[in-house]
Structure 1
Amino acid sequence: MQYDPPLQEHELQSFRKLFAVESVFMASEGYFQNRNIANFRQFAVSFIEEISKCENFDAFVPYLALNYFDRFISRHELPRVVTSTDEENAILLVISCLTIAWKMRIKSFNADLFMTARKLRLDRISFRKMEFHILNALQWRMLSLTPICFAKYFMSLLNLTPWNLAPNQRSVYEIIIRGQAEIEFTQFKPSIIAASAVLTTSLKLFPSRFEELKVTVSSSEFVSQEELLQCMNLMEMKCKTASSALLLPAQQPGAGSSVQSQEENIHRVGKKTVGEIEEVPAVAASSDNLFHGPLMNFELQWTDPQQPRPKLTSESIFPGRDLSDDSCLRSSRFGGFFKCCPILDWLA
């Protein structure tokens, strides 16, 4: 068996910085246990998956958008940007998380062209206000530390040559991104999810050495053995209950609406540029460039097309609030938004 060179000392120091601050980029404690919020999140999962479909699909974009959603909604109330209904504000929040993620990923992303391609008639002022609410609430920390950022550390820790092969790295990313659809994973640190995904992939690649590799990962100074075991058990359970969807070979995503690029390289929201939001250790920023192309061009498989699409209710938007009048859920306003977007037929 051949070996890759281990991480250099300067790389290890960079990862130490990441491990020290990763909790900042998690949802709040107990978020995964709130059933009402879970309903709202499931709507967001389905909505983001549907409207993010496009040519040259990049799975990291909806993945990052859902990270923003989790961090925001677990700590903050829904901003009242649109004056018509809470429901429409909720939809605007989800779309804004996605557009911010796309701006962080692609400098030339054009939000107006994105909306036009999907026939989403949003008021531009309200849209920008919602983006600004999200940016401020997350303190402009939009270069999120996700499990993707920690995958290289654990792959290097195992020190096996096959990790150099793109299909094997891609398998790790698939498990991480597809698993994000389950709210239960938000209880774990990004590094724990990354370690679990690497070990899950190792079980397929090196079944005879799996126990040895598990000891190596669990012995890392950055890993809690108890949390790792819990996360791996959950990952295994979700793989089984979802007909191993997390471990299925990736397929090329179906062609959807094309997102054209004809905007300036820097997107400005409020007084700051999205591209200048937050400085993170170089290892995280530089590794982001490695995740384009074939490594991220796979279907999300977040939802089961055979299952009913989730409904958005005021109870899920505002958990614990008693709303005796649900007439707001039947609104047909929002600039024709409900009529022009087939996705919003879910809410009728």
Structure 2
Amino acid sequence: MSVSCSDLLCGEDSSIIFSTGGEALLECSSDQGFLMPEVEESIAGLIENERNFMVPCNDYIEKFHLTQSIDASNRADSVAWILKVHRYHGFQPLTAYLSVNYFDRFLYSHQLPKMNGWPAQLLSVACLSLAAKVEEPLVPSLLDLQVEGAQFIFEPRNIQRMELLVLRVLDWRLQSISPFSFLSFFAHKIDPTGNYTGFLTSRATEIILSNIQETNFLEYRPSCIAAATILCAANDLPHFSLVTAQHAESWCDGLHKDKITSCRQLMQQTAFANRPRKQPKVLPQLRVMTRASIAWSDSSSTSFSSSSPYKRRKLNNSLWLDNDK
């Protein structure tokens, strides 16, 4: 008896099973022309559906204060650990983004007790594991995933249970529309020749990952974040330094220059706050002597004179402080 693919499907819509999700980046060669009507329609569809994979920022921040299950600093610590493991294993940028996306969407819909303890670490491992299974061709073992200063080490079976809980809370919706979905499209909008699109997308990717810890970026849509990062990347090239948010607003429907401008300003503020500071100059330590010490040194001049010349030089180079002054 022959079995077709449709016989193996459950009650779900088959289009959902076989769809490539929001991360089906549009790969069009320059020979065919990048700005085809099909590409424009695909981008419009991504913008229409991107809110379905976002966490409402205002409600999320309110939950931080009301439930006290996790605060912004603890979330930043969890995201920082995810980024460390992401770099350690050489994961794709989308893997890190999806991990944080699962983390925030889970906390928005489900509360865990004492999130600043081991539950937060367990959730971070589970979200990173799920994202790696979605995006990475080679996935480390659950024990090898717990590196880079993990505060707690969990048994694989406990992580798998947490993964199932995350899947149920997210309603098994692991594909998500991210800023990376739009970068290539927006880069070609700035540079139709394609000469600088590689640099623009690469630089924009770095900016996205460097800002992923900031909770304030949750209020911006992925398309808005992508447009703002492309503008920041374009600012590094003299050819495109004059491209503004007003230009970006015309790239496709759904973009708003005010939102793009505020998102870009937030990125610049974050970059300024996180820039490495110069180490303070260390002045040579000066020895402070009181009058009592001076009197004692006068009475002991004989012993000093009979001692080594090093001690005399040390006394002469000291800073004397008069108690009366």
TM-score when normalising by structure 2: 0.65
Structure 1 counterpart of 2:133, from 103, 112, 119: 103
Structure 2 match to 1:333: none
Secondary structure at the counterpart of residue 54 of structure 1: helix
Q: Indicate whether 1:58 and 2:100 are aligned.
A: no
Task: For structure 2, list consecutive stretches of 5 or more residues without a partner in the other structure.
Answer: 1-29, 280-325
Structure 2 match to 1:12: 40
Q: Distance in 2 between matches of 1:175 and 1:22?
A: 20
Q: Percent identity?
A: 25
Q: Indicate whether 1:216 and 2:247 are aligned.
A: yes
Q: Distance in 2 between matches of 1:116 and 1:71?
A: 22
Q: Distance in 2 between matches of 1:142 and 1:130?
A: 15
1:91 counterpart letter in structure 2: Q
Segment drifting more, 98-107 vs 28-37 = 28-37
Deviation at 1:21, TM superposition (A): 0.7
Q: Distance in 1 between matches of 2:110 and 2:270?
A: 29
Deviation at 1:51, TM superposition (A): 3.4
Q: Distance in 2 between matches of 1:159 and 1:165?
A: 6
Structure 1 match to 2:104: 70
Q: Distance in 1 between matches of 2:245 and 2:57?
A: 27
Q: Indicate whether 1:91 and 2:121 are aligned.
A: yes
Asked if the contact 1:6–1:157 (Cα under 8 Å) also holds between the matched residues in 2, the reply is no
Question: Between Structure 1 and Structure 2, whose CA radius of gyration is higher?
Answer: 2
Q: Distance in 2 between matches of 1:224 and 1:95?
A: 36
Deviation at 1:14, TM superposition (A): 1.2
TM-score when normalising by structure 1: 0.61
Deviation at 1:178, TM superposition (A): 1.2
Task: For structure 1, list consecutive stretches of 5 or more residues without a partner in the other structure.
Answer: 246-303, 307-348
Asked if the contact 1:76–1:137 (Cα under 8 Å) also holds between the matched residues in 2, the reply is yes
Q: Indicate whether 1:23 and 2:43 are aligned.
A: no
Q: Distance in 2 between matches of 1:159 and 1:167?
A: 11
Asked if the contact 1:79–1:130 (Cα under 8 Å) also holds between the matched residues in 2, the reply is no
Q: Distance in 2 between matches of 1:227 and 1:67?
A: 21
Q: Distance in 2 between matches of 1:178 and 1:117?
A: 20
Q: Distance in 2 between matches of 1:138 and 1:161?
A: 41
Q: Indicate whether 1:170 and 2:193 are aligned.
A: no
Specify whether residues 32 and 163 from structure 1 end up closer, same or farther in structure 2 by C-alpha distance, changes over 3 A only.
farther
Deviation at 1:8, TM superposition (A): 1.0
Deviation at 1:32, TM superposition (A): 4.5
Segment drifting more, 61-70 vs 33-42 = 33-42
Q: Aligned pair count? A: 239
Deviation at 1:225, TM superposition (A): 2.0
Q: Distance in 2 between matches of 1:194 and 1:101?
A: 20
For the aligned residue pairs, the C-alpha RMSD in angstroms reads: 3.0
Q: After superposition, give the CA deviation of every residue in 1:6-42 in whole Å (9 maximum; x if it has no partner).
A: 4211111111111011011111231256465312311
Structure 2 counterpart of 1:49, from 74, 80, 83: 83
Q: Distance in 2 between matches of 1:190 and 1:113?
A: 32
Structure 2 match to 1:194: 226
Q: After superposition, give the CA deviation of every residue in 1:135-193 in whole Å (9 maximum; x if it has no partner).
A: 12112221211111111222222243355553332101111121112111111000000
Structural mapping, 1:326-345, within 5 Å = none
Secondary structure at the counterpart of residue 232 of structure 1: helix
Structure 2 match to 1:146: 178
Specify whether residues 153 and 123 from structure 1 end up closer, same or farther in structure 2 by C-alpha distance, changes over 3 A only.
same
Segment drifting more, 166-175 vs 35-44 = 35-44
Specify whether residues 136 and 19 from structure 1 end up closer, same or farther in structure 2 by C-alpha distance, changes over 3 A only.
same
Secondary structure at the counterpart of residue 112 of structure 2: coil
Q: Which fold has the larger relative contact order, with Cα–Cα distance below 8 Å and residues 6 or more apart in sequence?
A: 1
Q: Distance in 2 between matches of 1:8 and 1:207?
A: 25
Specify whether residues 116 and 26 from structure 1 end up closer, same or farther in structure 2 by C-alpha distance, changes over 3 A only.
closer
Asked if the contact 1:45–1:181 (Cα under 8 Å) also holds between the matched residues in 2, the reply is yes
Q: Distance in 1 between matches of 2:265 and 2:81?
A: 28
Q: Distance in 2 between matches of 1:163 and 1:76?
A: 46
